[in-house]
Amino acid sequence: MYRTHLFLLFAVLLISSSNASAAIAVFTCEPEWKALAEEIGGDKVTAFTATTAKQDPHHIQARPSLIAKLRRADLLICSGAGLEEGWLPLLLRRARNPNVQSGQPGHLMAAEHVPLLEIPTRLDRSEGDIHSQGNPHIHLDPRNLQRLAEVTAERMAHLDPGNTVHYQARLRDFERRWNNALTGWEHDSEVLHGRSAIVHHMEWIYLLDWLGMERLAALEPKPGLPPSARHLKRLKTLLEKQSALAIIRSTRADQRPSDWLAAQSGAPVVVLPYTVGATEESGDLFRLFEEIIKQLAAQPR
């Protein structure tokens, strides 16, 4: 009796595993890559994201649910450049899925396909939470997403050659729409060119680089370290001499340091969605950048 139950359990498990191979199962580390995978894959993929816009991709644990998900994935898409170094290597070992191990076509690290900014010249942990390969928050430059769309389509076609036409067509469609949107954003953000901003964390550098803006300073004295009172006072003095368009923080960040500095200096605070799903208005990649540009361009000059 007991044995029959066990046998049935195994049978169910096996059947459920064979069903799952109908579409490419994409495991993404962050919501932006899930959104991109869905843009390119459409109904031929099922995408899952390990983190939500409300979580910090640095501080995630290799939870059992993530191991189970990665175990069955065909394609892994993550930012890379050390953003997930605390949990992804362990997750890969625990899930022991040959399809997504480093070096396989199912292993896609976005940062390996785009030029990185802020590659540290001095590697020392006293510099805070720095990443040796450069700043990993690459998705905030829409030109990087364009590049990654190509790579994603290539990988999907490689893993599922029968649907190559489908992925190619969706890629062309995405590129067309993305280009049109990009032209619009670049037009709307011309006024921001040459302006400077204060940021909470170092995550905005790719956005500022794309918009031709400068980062005047960061609220965090060192990457990943919480803003200190002394550092904030220094920034206040800085803002007396130089002007900033805005103090940028993400929806996740602690609001007190930026609010304090805003009250002291008069520079406005802009709360921007860091990734897809951070606000109601940023439900997909297009709306994410629309929202960011709208917020920034609306700042008084």
Partner 1 sequence: MKNALLRACLIVVVGLSLPLSVHASQKDDIAELKQTLEQIKHQYESRITDLEKRIQAAEENAINAETKAQTAERKAAHAEKKVTVNRGDNAFNPAISLIVQGSASSYSQDPEAWYLPGFQTGGEAGLKSEGLSLTETELTASANVDNWFFAQATIGMHEHHGSTELDIEEAFVDTLSLPAGLGMRFGRFYTETGYINASHSHAWDFADAPLVSQAFLGKQYRDDGLRLSWIAPTDTFVEAGTEALRGERFPASGNGSKFVGDAQNYFLRLGNDLGSSHSFRIGLSHLRTNPVNRAGGDAHGHDEHTETQSLGFSGNSNLSIADLIWKWAPEGDMTHRNLTLQGEYFHRDEDGSVTLTEGTEGALFDYNGAQRGFYLQGVYQFIPSWRLGIRYDRLWSDNSLSVLSNTTGENDNEVTAETGLLSDYKPERWTAMVDWSPSEFSRLRLQYALDESRPEKDNQVQLQYIMTLGAHGTHRY
Residues that bind partner 1 (CB under 8 A): 13-14, 16-17, 20, 51-52, 54-56, 59-65, 67-69, 71-72, 82, 85-87, 89-90, 92-93, 95-98, 101-104, 112-116, 119, 125, 128-129, 132-134, 143-144, 146-147, 172, 175-176, 179, 182-183, 224-226, 252
- Looking at the Cβ atoms of 84 and 245, the one nearer to partner 1 is 84
Distance CA 279, CA 273 (A): 6
- Looking at the Cβ atoms of 179 and 243, the one nearer to partner 1 is 179
Distance CA 57, CA 243 (A): 32
- Looking at the Cβ atoms of 116 and 292, the one nearer to partner 1 is 116
- Looking at the Cβ atoms of 23 and 90, the one nearer to partner 1 is 90
Helix, strand, coil share of the chain (percent; to 5): 55, 10, 35
- Looking at the Cβ atoms of 125 and 301, the one nearer to partner 1 is 125
Distance CA 205, CA 118 (A): 8
CA distances in angstroms from 234 to 208, 248, 259, 266, listed in the order given: 22, 17, 15, 15
CB of 296 to partner 1, least distance (A): 20
DSSP state of 110: G
CB of 300 to partner 1, least distance (A): 30
Residue with tokens 């954003």: 185
CB of 95 to partner 1, least distance (A): 7
CA distances in angstroms from 113 to 77, 135, 215, 234, listed in the order given: 12, 13, 24, 37
- Looking at the Cβ atoms of 176 and 233, the one nearer to partner 1 is 176
CB of 64 to partner 1, least distance (A): 3
Q: What's the distance, Cα to Cα, between the start and end of the chain in Å? A: 77
Q: What is the CA radius of gyration of the chain?
A: 21
- Looking at the Cβ atoms of 182 and 239, the one nearer to partner 1 is 182
- Distant-in-sequence contacts of 183-187, Cβ < 8 A, 24+ apart: 185/142, 185/289, 185/290, 185/293
Distance CA 260, CA 249 (A): 13
CB of 35 to partner 1, least distance (A): 18
CB of 38 to partner 1, least distance (A): 19
CB of 226 to partner 1, least distance (A): 6
